[in-house]
Structure 1
Amino acid sequence: MRFSFSDDQTEYAAFLADLLGTVAGPGYLRAAWSAGHAYESTLWPKLAESGLFGVCVPEEEGGAGGTLVDLALCLEACGYHGVPEPVVETAVLAPHVIGEFGSEAERKKWLRAIAEGEAVASASFDPSGITPDGTRADVVVVKSGEELHLVTPDRASWQPLDGVDLSRRLARGTFAAGEATLLTADPAAAARASGLGAAATACVLVGVAQRLADMTREYVIERRQFGRALGTFQILKHRLANVAIQTEAARSLAWYACYAVAHRAADAPLAAARAKAAANRASELAGSAALQLHGGIGFTWEHDLHLWLQRGKALEGAFGSTLEHRTAVGGMVIEQLASPGAPVHGIEHAGTTR
């Protein structure tokens, strides 16, 4: 399959990356860590003004009418710059779930508000009820078994939690979910929502892995030992080359997953699972290499390394762990092999150009 982004997609992603390079970054992340649950975002209005939250909202509701493919590079930029906001949940998951499964009243109430940045959305797909920015969210997409619910603050109670990344403000939610909050009980809808979350988070993790790799490459070029730059030692080159290979592989899988999920391809669940597992692994490898190759300074609070290391660790479990996704991939491949005539890898779009 040949794949490329349009000029509009790449230019918008470049614009967003430039914006984030100016208004986000290590200083902003440190402030978010220090504020904890008292954090008040100054970044959210800028993201809303950029149009990020409206990309996947239908045009009739004030959005751009785009797809997950239009956000793939933007999500990577959010990971690279450490954006501590519920971007996946607000810009991807809520617009798709509400737009596809919500009532007309729910679509009218939420989609325009999301597009304009007036509503913060989150998602609770973990059976424990752990939700990023739960206490701040105006609406939460809750996955309960094979049901999807749309829960507002009056039907939720929250217990704030501290995770490994303090800039992601977690809370354990207890939801009064029932007929009044039910969007759909269709298992295919729940699977689609999970695929959207996994593919989008994979893109963010690719950005995290790339940031860790870039930080480490810059460090080993500058740091000298035994009269030589650390980066000239072959064993360190190999370590970073392995990180680069895994990151590029994860990037390709994440891009295809966005395409497959956006176009409801038959292999979308497989593509999303492969992408999330690969992105988890890329983040893990990049974090491990970064920590070890930085040496003692990498273990200190003063260095920015831990900000992205902790973000990667936090996101590795979001919308499915590596083990969960690898298990799912194995099951789908075995199922395909047991079906005569089914493509082993589930790729049915060979030769397609976008």
Structure 2
Amino acid sequence: MNDGTSPAGTPAADPDLLYSADEEALRAAVRSLFADRGAPATVLAGLESASAHDAGLWRALATDIGAAGLLVPEKLGGAGASAREAAVVLEEAGRCVAPVPYLTSAVIAVTALLGCDRGREEVAAPLAALAGGGSVGVLAVPWTTAPGGASEGAVRAGADGTLTGRVTSVADAAGAALLLVPVRGPDGPALYAVEAAADGVRTGSVTPLDLTRPLGHLTFDGARGTLLASGERARTAVDGALLAGAGLLASEQLGVAEWCLAETVRYTAERTQFGRPVGSFQALKHRMAALWLEVASARAAARNAADALATDSPDAPLAVAVAQAYCAPVAVRAAQECVQLHGGIGMTWEHPAHLFLKRAKSDELALGSPGRHREALAGLVALDAP
């Protein structure tokens, strides 16, 4: 679609892909925090701990900096910012594969709650808790679920509000206190809030490829929940949360790719062979130049998605589909090049390159594969999918 209009036929505003002064200030604060307490070497050292995430790092990011409440309106205890600011946080988190539940809690869970009736205490109270960073919430859907692909059939709600069913591979479920559960209720789709510590809730562990973002299987056996939304409102809230998550995941993928490119350039400039830095060899120059062009394009796609979400653009689904179809493969290629161009050291556990490759491969399947987003893109622009 090149006629300058949205899928609905309304004029599409020009996206703002540049970072504002406030966004750069936020980036500086988040980058300083991660450099001090979440460098890749630090993440690597804590991989085999029993913790679901780095609680100290999460507290500093969510509460001290206030990043957990960026998407929450000020009157509900948040910062009243937008997806553009959240994208900056995720870009920096991707640059150090930070083991924090920012995307799952501060973006996806918060957006799902914002899609419900915010005037109700049942919605306002958990929103305030998530905004303050004192609680972690997750949307109880498989991590591979794409926007528009959530099923209400995995968990069923009885007339008395008890939930029964099982949801597999839920990201950050082990460290969550609040579960937002899409269900099939007596009158159709609904969204319930369930305390993770409630009777009838079990969280089973699963070993993921990316150890910095744990997955868990959730089983509900007569667990009691609080109804947040029902009918079309529940479906819209869940779909909106998944769309925001997929769109801002592109910024995390951008951060992964940026670190891999910068680290590869640094390493090849220092490593010598035949008396010359290997980065001066023409073949490697060509590979890194091609990767630089891909990363620059990924930055434009990720920023476009964040801006579309921030402005509630009618083109947001289109921008998100483009960002995920492009950024996911770029992050994987950047991580693969990082491992390969580091030579033997890049293949070792001691070097953090494998953390970025695992995060990139995991993110490639998260919230819809590139192929799934290409299909969505083809439908949005009325083309036959390849």
* 2:240 counterpart of 1:183: no
Q: Deviations over 1:86-133 (max 9, x none)?
A: 101222122222123145112331122112211112233326521122
Rounded to whole Å, the distance in 2 between the matches of 1:286 and 1:121 is 31
Q: State the match for 1:150 in structure 2.
A: 193
Q: Which amino acid aligns with 2:101?
A: P
- 1:98–1:106 contact (8 Å) kept in structure 2: no
Rounded to whole Å, the distance in 2 between the matches of 1:229 and 1:25 is 26
Q: CA deviation at 1:183?
A: 2.6
Residues 87, 300 of structure 1: alpha-carbon distance in 2 compared, 3 angstrom cutoff: same
Q: State the match for 2:93 in structure 1.
A: 78
Q: State the match for 2:115 in structure 1.
A: 100
Q: Which amino acid aligns with 1:16?
A: V
Q: State the match for 1:110 in structure 2.
A: 126
Q: State the match for 1:271 in structure 2.
A: 319
Q: State the match for 1:172 in structure 2.
A: 217
* 2:29 counterpart of 1:15: yes
Which 10-residue stretch deviates more, 203-212 or 178-187?
178-187
Q: Helix, strand or coil for the counterpart of 1:151?
A: strand
Residues 7-46 of structure 1 aligned to structure 2 (within 5 Å): 7-37=21-51, 41-46=55-60
Q: Helix, strand or coil for the counterpart of 2:134?
A: coil
Q: Helix, strand or coil for the counterpart of 1:56?
A: coil
Rounded to whole Å, the distance in 2 between the matches of 1:224 and 1:60 is 57
- 2:54–2:99 contact (8 Å) kept in structure 1: no
Q: Which amino acid aligns with 2:36?
A: T
Q: Deviations over 1:181-220 (max 9, x none)?
A: 4534424433322210101111111001111111111111
Q: Deviations over 1:243-289 (max 9, x none)?
A: 21111111111111111122221111111111112110111110111
% of aligned pairs identical?
33
Residues 181-330 of structure 1 aligned to structure 2 (within 5 Å): 181=227, 183-186=229-232, 187-330=235-378
- 2:71–2:80 contact (8 Å) kept in structure 1: yes
Q: State the match for 1:347 in structure 2.
A: none
- 2:53–2:100 contact (8 Å) kept in structure 1: no
- 1:199–1:272 contact (8 Å) kept in structure 2: yes
- 2:72–2:80 contact (8 Å) kept in structure 1: yes
* 2:140 counterpart of 1:124: yes
Q: CA deviation at 1:298?
A: 0.8
Q: CA deviation at 1:157?
A: 2.0
Which 10-residue stretch deviates more, 69-78 or 187-196?
187-196
Q: State the match for 2:179 in structure 1.
A: 140
- 2:52–2:174 contact (8 Å) kept in structure 1: no
RMSD: 2.3
Residues 189, 54 of structure 1: alpha-carbon distance in 2 compared, 3 angstrom cutoff: closer
Rounded to whole Å, the distance in 1 between the matches of 2:38 and 2:121 is 35
Rounded to whole Å, the distance in 1 between the matches of 2:339 and 2:207 is 22
- 1:122–1:137 contact (8 Å) kept in structure 2: yes
Q: Helix, strand or coil for the counterpart of 1:266?
A: coil
- 2:183–2:192 contact (8 Å) kept in structure 1: yes
Which 10-residue stretch deviates more, 8-17 or 326-335?
326-335
Q: Deviations over 1:291-348 (max 9, x none)?
A: 211111111112121121112122221111111111211222226x9xxxxxxxxxxx
Q: Helix, strand or coil for the counterpart of 1:135?
A: helix
Q: State the match for 2:149 in structure 1.
A: none
Q: Which amino acid aligns with 1:24?
A: G
Aligned length: 336
Q: Helix, strand or coil for the counterpart of 1:157?
A: strand
Which 10-residue stretch deviates more, 183-192 or 111-120?
183-192
Q: Which amino acid aligns with 1:114?
A: L
Rounded to whole Å, the distance in 1 between the matches of 2:378 and 2:52 is 43
Q: Helix, strand or coil for the counterpart of 1:81?
A: coil
Rounded to whole Å, the distance in 2 between the matches of 1:231 and 1:108 is 54
Rounded to whole Å, the distance in 2 between the matches of 1:188 and 1:39 is 29
Rounded to whole Å, the distance in 2 between the matches of 1:183 and 1:139 is 16
Q: CA deviation at 1:27?
A: 3.1
Q: CA deviation at 1:79?
A: 0.7
- 2:53–2:101 contact (8 Å) kept in structure 1: no
Q: State the match for 1:331 in structure 2.
A: 379
- 1:191–1:269 contact (8 Å) kept in structure 2: no
Q: Which amino acid aligns with 1:168?
A: R
Length-normalised TM-score, structure 2 = 0.81
Q: Which amino acid aligns with 1:9?
A: E
Q: State the match for 2:78 in structure 1.
A: 63
Rounded to whole Å, the distance in 1 between the matches of 2:282 and 2:91 is 29
